[in-house]
Amino acid sequence: ETGVTQTPRHLVMGMTNKKSLKCEQHLGHNAMYWYKQSAKKPLELMFVYNFKEQTENNSVPSRFSPECPNSSHLFLHLHTLQPEDSALYLCASSPPGLATDRQFFGPGTRLTVL
Amino acid sequence: GQQVMQIPQYQHVQEGEDFTTYCNSSTTLSNIQWYKQRPGGHPVFLIQLVKSGEVKKQKRLTFQFGEAKKNSSLHITATQTTDVGTYFCAGPDNNAGNMLTFGGGTRLMVKP
């Protein structure tokens, strides 16, 4: 256990559905991340939040909408996804301030878009 | 932008053989990190190297950071089936706060 939890662990949705992924960390970290992992791009950074503020949006389509209500919780809202969005979505966190610190990953949500 | 490349992409070895994965960055890194992801799992931090030419060992795993701080390697001696997984290297993005740029990973398969 890394102290980072993600729910749900598996999700199947249609292209017209709206769903949300949740990430929670109890490590006292102030930086949180969303990654997409697929066969084509092993670890693709999507969003970065520092102290609840989004500091990076790595050219992610608007059908992915992140939300960070506080330093412990991170959401990824999904709507009108495409089959190519099927992937493992990983949340990670790291201690505040330092660019050098390790990241702690959650178990991921395996998403399938039909 | 900063790029981190890893070779090989895949490696099959017989149990007991050695294994090495190489990581190269397009820019000088302040540090290099290594992660392991077991099949069906998530990346787990293994180690961080900071100093030029640094070598660290964890049991059968030996990690090296190049003198120019642009490359690194992970060597596993006498592989075991428990070593199966994908090994990623990662370095801090020079242009962005606390972002890591990950390599593409090397997937290790071990035949018993």
d(CA A46, CA A74): 13
SS3 B82: helix
d(CA B21, CA B75): 7
Out of B42, B99, B102, closest to residue A48 by CB:
B99
Q: Are B98 and B33 in contact (CB under 8 A)?
A: no
A38 close to B (CB below 8 A): no
d(CA A52, CA A59): 19
Q: For residue A59, give the DSSP letter.
A: S
* Numbers of helices and strands, H then E, in chain B: 0, 11
A34 close to B (CB below 8 A): no
B32-70 pLDDT, tens per residue? 999 999 999 999 999 999 999 999 999 999 999 999 999
A32-74 pLDDT, tens per residue? 999 999 987 779 999 998 877 777 777 899 999 999 999 899 9
Residues of B in contact with A98 (CB under 8 A): 98
Contact B42 A103 (CB under 8 A): no
Name every residue whose Cβ is closer than 8 Å to that of residue A73 and which is 6 or more positions away in sequence: A22, A23, A24
A11-41 pLDDT, tens per residue? 999 988 899 999 999 999 989 999 999 987 7
How confident is the prediction for chain B on average, in pLDDT? 94
Distance from CA of B47 to the nearest CA of A (A): 9
Whose CA is closest to A91, among A55, A40, A45, A30?
Answer: A45
Q: Are B43 and B55 in contact (CB under 8 A)?
A: no
* Number of Cα atoms under 13 Å in the Cβ half of residue A88: 19
